[in-house]
Structure 1
Amino acid sequence: MWDRTMRRQVLLFISIFSLSSAFGQVTYSVPEEMTKGSLVGNIAQDLGLDVKRLRSGKARIYTEDNAEYIELNKDRGVLLVKERIDREALCGQTTPCALHLQITLEDPIEFYTVTVEISDINDNAPSFKKDEMKFRISESAVIGAKFVLERAMDLDVGVNGLQSYTLKPTDNFHLKLQNQQDGSKKVEMVLQKHLDREAQQHLSLTLTATDGGEPQLSGTMKVEISVLDANDNAPVFTQEVYKAVIMETAPIGTILNTVSAVDADEGSNGKVSYSITNTLDDVPVLFKVDENGLVSLTGNLDYEKAQHYEIHVQASDDGGLTDSCKIIVEVTDTNDNNPSINVMSKTNSISENARPGTVVTIFNVQDPDSGENGKVCNINNEIPFKILNTMNGFYSIVTEVALDRETASEYNITVTCSDEGVPSLSSTVTLTLQISDVNDNAPVFERSSYEAYIVENNTPGLSIFTVKARDADWKQNARVSYILEDSSVNGVPVSSYVSVSADSGVIHAVRSLDYEQIKDFQFRVKAQDGGSPPLSSNVTVKILVQDQNDNPPQVLYPVQTGGSVVAEMVPRSADVGYLVTKVVAVDVDSGQNAWLSYKLQKATDRALFEVGLQNGEIRTVRQVTDKDAVKQRLSVIVEDNGQPSRSATVIVNVAVADSFPEVLSEFTDFPHDKEYNDNLTFYLVLALAVVSFLFITSLVVIISVKIYRWRQSRVLYQSNLPVIPYYPPRYSDTLGTGTLQHVYNYEVCRTTDSRKSDCKFGRAGSQNVLIMDPSSTGTMQRIQSEKSILDEPDSPAKLASIQEEV
């Protein structure tokens, strides 16, 4: 029944003032003494919020005095009574009595004000400070004499407060109530019938105080009256109302005013004493009146608690007659309170891409002082934040401009609130705000392009170079990965040449490089950060391959044959400096690795021939005589200028004779190398077997030979074996290495896989070349035939094709 009555008394009226999308106000009214867990109001419904928003926004209640009487149930979206509320303990006689709450939400920050008014219930009966009052009244007291009674005290307010008094019995006295300016009632007992001490020396009355609650409560006090002999004059104050003004910082003992009452009686009946009769407030603690009527300060005043006081002073004589007056005390304010800064909600971290105007902190500032002693707030300069006064006493700190974590990753926001009093008082609070990173910076390479060198014939996996990029962002957004972009080098993917370490940016060679195949190549490396979405940048890397002396010289002329002897003819009439032949060699390396020099290693007669160091020309160094041997064998070594150097050796056969028949008999038994003799024996046995086989199956062999020749012609173009380069007619040394200082005509035809192929080569017009084949008698005939053609005077065109041009 009690809970039902309390619920009926709950008055739910909501007044929402829309300040912005993040501020609102709601007011509820509930009775005091509600049981714990009782419903105050559905805050989610009244504020138009979803219950899920209360949970996700971490809704919480903030109170100015930190008294936790109300709690928020975020699951139901309602306000409940957390602790028993005693209106009298909370507000005393102040009406209306209210709790002021603030509800804050985060992400985004929202702020709401809730006022809970506490209505009174009749839970306190009227009571008197004393159980009884004693009066000594002269029998000579006149009809209408007044005697002030002590007022009752009721902690309840309104209709539940003190309403009426009754005095019984009423034979000699009746009760008179007089309203005061402060709302209280002055209780006086008025004599309506003369007293007769001889008839009744003592009277006992009962004063009853009754409130207006339901049910009605009351309190009583005994009034004991002793009838005295005649004292027919009561004290009378010179003023009914006195006024005084005092600073709240006035020291104890300060005199407020002096009251004075006069009694026309003489003797003890005319002696006046003063007393303070206030019972409902703390006036008796703060003030006192002495026997001379001096009213002084006995406690510490506080303007923020009370701005004025009413002191009720009673003057009494020894006959029990009294009079009363009041002193109105006005307390003036002084600047004795620092502003109080209460941070209600704050954000510890904010993204650097937050838009200007984003709320980072809400705080409340209170200053109990008044007037010019109020507060003014500001923050430290040179930070991108400002303060907005959202409502009276409540402030927001918002971003003023766009933030950049790379410029400043943390801010210390110092809030200073000062009042305008003299002297000014202030309070300061410092808030730390972290700026979280977003991926707004792409990696930047240390150089706009890179160039690196690598020596050919490197080991696969060799580290060539390192590219480096830096990202101004933080953590994952600054983690740089390196990626080799797809491209091709001479039609081959660049990934088959180099690779890039994703973490370190180290460029490795995937395979061994050959300067003779590729001298340089370039590719692009992309640096990509770990943000979402990732940002990247590119850089071009050029790799230059450096040459090594890894190729020996290659002799182009004279061509070394395995089955026949090639000899250069020198007539016996040759003079000093006669050009016998020229050794022609090339080196596919570059630079000094391709600078060739020629030296005569061995010779049948070293005194007869010499080799040009730079040009490879073999010339006679003296006059040829008849005593010189027909057969001359020269061994020429060709060396490059590399470190270490590489070389090749060529054998030059020279026939010193004036006619071919003279040479023929000498060269038929020309000594050959062991390898050559072995090869010759092998081919002779092979030829014998072939001739025998051809004799039996000539037709089949002819067809097979044709097919074989056709296949050999195809192999010349399709073979994957190393090919000795083909140098076209009028091959010229354009590198300036000294290998060829003159221009020669050469025709060189070689298969790709045989060292014994036939050669057709040009020679100087003034020389005779002898080719001897010991295994065939037809060789000499071919030589003579060629000689007759060369000797014909009408063959200039034929001679020009092989003419040496110096």
Structure 2
Amino acid sequence: VALFGVRYSIPEEMATGSVVGNIIQDLGLDIKRLKSGRARIFTEDDSEYIGLNSEKGTLVVAKRIDREELCKQVSPCSLHFQIILENPMELHRIDVEILDINDNAPYFSKKEYNFQVIESASPGARYSLESASDPDVAMNTIQTYKLNPSDNFKLNVVSLPDGTKYIEMVLHTSLDREKQEEHKLTLTAFDGGNPQKSGSVKINVIVLDANDNAPVFSQSVYRVTVPENAQKGAVILRVSASDNDKGTNEEITFSFSQHTSSASSLFIIDPHSGEISVTGVLDYEKAKHYEINIEATDKGGLTDTSKVLIEVTDLNDNAPIISIISLSNAIPEDSPLNTVIAMINIKDLDSGKNSHVRCYISQDLPFKIKSSAPNFYSLISDDILDRETVPEYNITITAVDEGSPPFSTNKSINLRISDVNDHAPTFPQQFLTAFVNENNSPGMSLLTVKASDMDYGSNARISYFLEDSQLNGMSASAYFSVNVERGEIVAVRSFDYEQTKEFHIRVKAQDGGSPPLSSNVTVKIMIQDQNDNPPQVLYPVQTGGSLMAEMVPRSADVGYLVTKVVAVDVDSGQNAWLSYKLQKATDRALFEVGLQNGEIRTIRQVTDKDAVKQRLTVIVEDNGQPSRSATVIVNVAVADSFPEVLSEFTELTHDKEYNDNLTFYLVLALAVVSFLFITCLVVIISVRIYRWRRERLFYKSSGNLPVIPYYPPLYADVSGTGTLKQGFSYEVYGTTDSRMSDVKNSRPFSQSTMSIDQSATRTVQRHKTESENIPTEVRGSAADVPSGTYWLFRFVARMRKGNTPVMGK
């Protein structure tokens, strides 16, 4: 805030609208600055005599200026005000001196004055006259007086040490009442203006009989000091005068001179005692001193004059006055330090030490008061502002003077802090989890995320978006959607727990600021399993091509492990908890099924009376609600040898419940055997045509047998109490000479498990055979060779002639 000043002088009584001065030229400003700064005039007493023309940049007379009304007798008479500009703030002091013009003529308070003069008055006797009044000053006020006629009296102008003047009428020649009892005079006062003006008053002098001595005051000037809080009736001074006459001629009365009317309302003099007391309210701020002319008059009409100078002392009876000139409300929270918030004017009508003012605010606030010019202060920021911490401040400005006791004044300002987008939305948690059952309906609400923003208004308006990411090779929007306003996460499609058990998505919360701020939250969506899949039996495998049977020797003890039903459930949790129950059995008293492990064991000793064929139906149930189940049929052979089993299970193939399937498989087996037979014949003929050097290559490239179908694994009783998987290797050597063919097993077959070929009537032999011609060498697992293929090899060996070997696996 800068402070510059300029001074102008104008005569009083100028017409309204007259130009006082051009502030654009004198202050170095321009019209644009006046308009952008919203220039205006500030006066401390709110009397706007001078106006500002912002369009032309000139000061003009706003209303009639009467110097006499404005300043009385004070000279020079000046108007003081400030021109205030904002953005940035500037303060320019303007002083306009009001020059006096001779617009007032001298005048007397009365039209006529009467004097009584004793005839014995000696020449040189003085008679105090009322001075004329002229509100003008300097040369325009009263300069000379003239008394007419001047045969007996002359005028005497007396100048006092304080610069004031009063006039006396001095007796020039002695009076003779017998010659002339009354004298009529005219007193005229002239000012020094151009043109000159004057005023006059009549003086009647009545000649009295002799009274030789006039009263005399003890002092020519009385001085007294009075505090401005003096009570009414308080005596401030007592004057005295003496008269050398005797009798009634020495009786003196005191009075105020006729030209002390301004002080007569505040003071009074006792005519007999000469005591001067206070009758009105004194105010130092209105008048600092008073001048009273007093007279002492005897009975003979003789008088003496004196002057009383009353000085009013100041008391601290005025509190400081705080005026807010300019206020910026509200201010942004990111305002820099030392930002000007308000311009303040503080004044105290007292004087001296009582008018010295100290201004301050609370130290807890992020602001401070800085003096920019006398009586002017700036409220500026002194710390970082944060609307989210404190959205507004109540600033109390305190002004204290230095009087005793001191007076203080408070002024409160409510300052609002405007918001800036300096906070991003925040989620209560960085990670959220939602649960949804599989097979849900599309459009199902999963979870609502909620973020908060400490900002205000549009800066705190939050929108929610689903961040684009890949889930199982697809965009996240293919699975989920997010409501922009509410943050509700909705499933776009139905989910399958067995395919995907959980998803991880990110939701972004973005505010409406400029630029916008955002934050993310990770949402883990867990798919909860439902019991929508039945158990699946892995073992024993149920096929229509061959029947599997578990062999139990008749010597088996109680608790003998016959086999184990193996099942799985692709569901999870309790939906995948499986239990095994024996639903039907040929002999329920012989076998039991483990509820949890599916193991089939004997519950009593096997006897000779037990049937060889035992058929068990086991049901596998999960623990879901509602539960799902699967059934499996387990064939058990109670026998000690294979021939005994063979005869029983051969009949089994002709049972009514398998007749339909058996017919289909027999036809299929016959077709396969015929095809393989023809293929072998073609191969044998082709081999004989080619040279022997290509024989080994032919074996590797064209001699492969058809793909062997999958059959369930074989189990062998290793420990005597259970069935475990038993694999073995075999070797088959074949030549054209049947006497040289051989089949060798590297490990013997277990007697616990057997395989029955439903397309033939023989059981696969489980021992070394030397009497049969087999045309190939085969190495592998016995579980990988179907019984039908084995007999096919035997058939081909008998049909072949010649010595060309065939190799395969």
CA distance, structure 1, for counterparts of residue 711 and residue 281 of structure 2? 122
Counterpart position of 1:410: 392
Matches within 5 A, 1:545-584: 545-557=527-539, 565-568=545-548, 584=566
Deviates more, 1:552-561 or 1:177-186: 552-561
Q: Structure 1 residue 154: deviation in Å?
A: 1.0
Question: Which residue type is aligned with residue 327 of structure 1?
Answer: V
Q: Secondary structure at the match of 1:416?
A: strand
Question: Which residue type is aligned with residue 475 of structure 1?
Answer: G
Counterpart position of 1:174: 154
Contact 2:547–2:755 (CA under 8 A) maintained in structure 1: yes
User: Gaps (5+ residues) in structure 1?
Assistant: 1-20, 688-725, 733-739, 747-762, 773-778
Residue from 560, 585, 589 that aligns with 2:567: 585
Counterpart position of 1:446: 428
Q: Secondary structure at the match of 2:657?
A: coil
Counterpart position of 1:542: 524
Counterpart position of 1:359: 340
CA distance, structure 2, for counterparts of residue 107 and residue 280 of structure 1? 54
CA distance, structure 2, for counterparts of residue 240 and residue 185 of structure 1? 14
Contact 1:104–1:345 (CA under 8 A) maintained in structure 2: no
Contact 2:238–2:276 (CA under 8 A) maintained in structure 1: yes
CA distance, structure 1, for counterparts of residue 468 and residue 726 of structure 2? 47
Residue from 504, 521, 540 that aligns with 1:522: 504
Counterpart position of 2:321: 340
Q: C-alpha offsets along residues 78-128 of structure 1, whole Å, 9 cap, x if unaligned?
A: 443333222222221122223332444555554443333332222222111
CA distance, structure 1, for counterparts of residue 44 and residue 475 of structure 2? 73
**Aligned CA-pair RMSD:** 4.3
Relative to structure 1, is the Cα distance of residues 428 and 728 closer, same or farther in structure 2, using a 3 angstrom cutoff? farther
Quick check: 1:434 aligned with 2:434?
Answer: no
Counterpart position of 1:323: 304
Counterpart position of 2:792: none
Q: Structure 1 residue 131: deviation in Å?
A: 0.6
Counterpart position of 2:734: none
Quick check: 1:258 aligned with 2:244?
Answer: no
Contact 1:765–1:802 (CA under 8 A) maintained in structure 2: no
Question: Which residue type is aligned with residue 532 of structure 1?
Answer: S
Q: Structure 1 residue 298: deviation in Å?
A: 2.8
Q: What TM-score do the two structures reach when normalised by structure 1?
A: 0.76
Q: Structure 1 residue 790: deviation in Å?
A: 9.0
Q: Secondary structure at the match of 2:342?
A: strand
CA distance, structure 1, for counterparts of residue 292 and residue 539 of structure 2? 139
Relative to structure 1, is the Cα distance of residues 673 and 553 closer, same or farther in structure 2, using a 3 angstrom cutoff? farther
Quick check: 1:126 aligned with 2:114?
Answer: no
CA distance, structure 2, for counterparts of residue 566 and residue 105 of structure 1? 109
Relative to structure 1, is the Cα distance of residues 545 and 728 closer, same or farther in structure 2, using a 3 angstrom cutoff? farther
Q: Structure 1 residue 325: deviation in Å?
A: 1.8
User: Gaps (5+ residues) in structure 2?
Assistant: 672-708, 716-721, 729-748, 787-809
Q: C-alpha offsets along residues 665-716 of structure 1, whole Å, 9 cap, x if unaligned?
A: 7636743599x89x989x99xx9xxxxxxxxxxxxxxxxxxxxxxxxxxxxx
Relative to structure 1, is the Cα distance of residues 792 and 767 closer, same or farther in structure 2, using a 3 angstrom cutoff? farther
CA distance, structure 2, for counterparts of residue 803 and residue 164 of structure 1? 159
Counterpart position of 2:679: none
CA distance, structure 2, for counterparts of residue 179 and residue 280 of structure 1? 17
Matches within 5 A, 1:775-786: 779-780=759-760
Question: Which residue type is aligned with residue 379 of structure 1?
Answer: I
Counterpart position of 1:512: 494
Q: What TM-score do the two structures reach when normalised by structure 2?
A: 0.75
Residue from 627, 633, 644 that aligns with 1:645: 627
Quick check: 1:66 aligned with 2:46?
Answer: yes
Counterpart position of 1:300: 281
Deviates more, 1:572-581 or 1:432-441: 572-581
Question: Which residue type is aligned with residue 496 of structure 2?
Answer: D
CA distance, structure 2, for counterparts of residue 484 and residue 572 of structure 1? 64
Deviates more, 1:41-50 or 1:185-194: 41-50
Relative to structure 1, is the Cα distance of residues 604 and 730 closer, same or farther in structure 2, using a 3 angstrom cutoff? closer
Q: Structure 1 residue 198: deviation in Å?
A: 4.2
CA distance, structure 1, for counterparts of residue 583 and residue 120 of structure 2? 171
Q: C-alpha offsets along residues 271-294 of structure 1, whole Å, 9 cap, x if unaligned?
A: 443332262662222233333333
Q: Structure 1 residue 575: deviation in Å?
A: 6.4
Q: Secondary structure at the match of 2:780?
A: helix
Counterpart position of 2:755: 769
CA distance, structure 2, for counterparts of residue 451 and residue 592 of structure 1? 22
Q: C-alpha offsets along residues 397-456 of structure 1, whole Å, 9 cap, x if unaligned?
A: 322322233332232222332333333332222222222332333333322433343332
CA distance, structure 1, for counterparts of residue 232 and residue 595 of structure 2? 126
Q: Secondary structure at the match of 1:88?
A: helix
Relative to structure 1, is the Cα distance of residues 574 and 42 closer, same or farther in structure 2, using a 3 angstrom cutoff? farther
Q: Secondary structure at the match of 1:445?
A: coil
Contact 1:210–1:218 (CA under 8 A) maintained in structure 2: yes
CA distance, structure 2, for counterparts of residue 646 and residue 741 of structure 1? 28
Relative to structure 1, is the Cα distance of residues 743 and 68 closer, same or farther in structure 2, using a 3 angstrom cutoff? farther
Counterpart position of 1:482: 464
Residue from 433, 456, 478 that aligns with 1:496: 478
Residue from 300, 304, 309 that aligns with 2:290: 309
Contact 2:465–2:508 (CA under 8 A) maintained in structure 1: yes
Deviates more, 1:272-281 or 1:509-518: 272-281
Contact 2:221–2:309 (CA under 8 A) maintained in structure 1: yes
Quick check: 1:392 aligned with 2:396?
Answer: no
Counterpart position of 1:96: 76
Question: Which residue type is aligned with residue 340 of structure 2?
Answer: V
Q: Secondary structure at the match of 1:283?
A: helix
Quick check: 1:221 aligned with 2:201?
Answer: yes
Relative to structure 1, is the Cα distance of residues 413 and 473 closer, same or farther in structure 2, using a 3 angstrom cutoff? same
Residue from 626, 646, 657 that aligns with 1:671: 657
Quick check: 1:380 aligned with 2:362?
Answer: yes
Q: Structure 1 residue 220: deviation in Å?
A: 1.5
CA distance, structure 2, for counterparts of residue 350 and residue 764 of structure 1? 97
Relative to structure 1, is the Cα distance of residues 44 and 646 closer, same or farther in structure 2, using a 3 angstrom cutoff? farther
Contact 2:561–2:723 (CA under 8 A) maintained in structure 1: no
Q: C-alpha offsets along residues 124-152 of structure 1, whole Å, 9 cap, x if unaligned?
A: 22111011112223444444433322111
Counterpart position of 2:18: 38
Q: Structure 1 residue 263: deviation in Å?
A: 3.6
CA distance, structure 1, for counterparts of residue 64 and residue 476 of structure 2? 82
Q: Secondary structure at the match of 1:354?
A: coil
Relative to structure 1, is the Cα distance of residues 409 and 342 closer, same or farther in structure 2, using a 3 angstrom cutoff? same
Counterpart position of 2:439: 457
Relative to structure 1, is the Cα distance of residues 174 and 620 closer, same or farther in structure 2, using a 3 angstrom cutoff? closer
Contact 2:232–2:280 (CA under 8 A) maintained in structure 1: yes
Relative to structure 1, is the Cα distance of residues 341 and 361 closer, same or farther in structure 2, using a 3 angstrom cutoff? same
Relative to structure 1, is the Cα distance of residues 211 and 660 closer, same or farther in structure 2, using a 3 angstrom cutoff? same
Quick check: 1:238 aligned with 2:234?
Answer: no
Contact 1:455–1:546 (CA under 8 A) maintained in structure 2: yes
Question: Which residue type is aligned with residue 79 of structure 2?
Answer: L
Residue from 798, 801, 804 that aligns with 2:780: 798
Relative to structure 1, is the Cα distance of residues 49 and 644 closer, same or farther in structure 2, using a 3 angstrom cutoff? farther
Question: Which residue type is aligned with residue 307 of structure 1?
Answer: K
Counterpart position of 1:86: 66
CA distance, structure 2, for counterparts of residue 424 and residue 729 of structure 1? 112
- % same residue: 53
Q: Structure 1 residue 46: deviation in Å?
A: 4.2
Counterpart position of 1:349: 330
Contact 2:260–2:293 (CA under 8 A) maintained in structure 1: no
CA distance, structure 1, for counterparts of residue 403 and residue 21 of structure 2? 41
Question: Which residue type is aligned with residue 282 of structure 2?
Answer: L
CA distance, structure 2, for counterparts of residue 623 and residue 268 of structure 1? 175
Deviates more, 1:788-797 or 1:342-351: 788-797
Question: Which residue type is aligned with residue 259 of structure 1?
Answer: V
Contact 2:130–2:258 (CA under 8 A) maintained in structure 1: no
CA distance, structure 2, for counterparts of residue 650 and residue 85 of structure 1? 123
Question: Which residue type is aligned with residue 188 of structure 2?
Answer: T
Q: Secondary structure at the match of 1:592?
A: helix
Q: Secondary structure at the match of 2:69?
A: helix
CA distance, structure 1, for counterparts of residue 456 and residue 319 of structure 2? 42
CA distance, structure 1, for counterparts of residue 9 and residue 767 of structure 2? 136
CA distance, structure 2, for counterparts of residue 570 and residue 356 of structure 1? 94
